Amino acid sequence: MDINELISKKLKGLRAENSYSLDDVANIIGLHRETVRRYENNPYIMSIDILLKILELYQVNVNVFFEEIYGKMPYINK
């Protein structure tokens, strides 16, 4: 799994943990529902500004987010 896929999977998990719908996130962040869905289901590259807004919504520190992502990449841990 590459970094974009890990980010997508993590974002989808955070949304579920916080009991938000795609529409909730889209409305709060100011995006279209389909854009949020793409971020969560495809290795779709987003701007850092959008990622930071989403992480702020979920109250997740960006450093912690990426530490968890990189921790799941086996070639980084060697």
Q: Using the predicted structure, report yes or no on whether residue 73 has a pLDDT greater than 80.
A: no
Give the pTM.
Answer: 0.83
pLDDT tens, residue by residue, 2-24: 888 889 999 999 999 999 999 99
Average pLDDT over residues 33-55: 90
Which runs of consecutive H residues, i.e. helices, occur in 18-47? 22-29, 33-41
68 in Cβ contact with 62 (< 8 Å): no
The mean pLDDT of the chain is: 89
Cα distance between residue 20 and residue 4, in whole Å: 21
CA atoms of 45 and 76, how far apart (whole Å) = 21
User: Is the pLDDT reported for residue 78 higher than 60?
Assistant: no
pLDDT of residue 16: 97
Structural domains present in the chain: 3-77 (1.10.260.40)
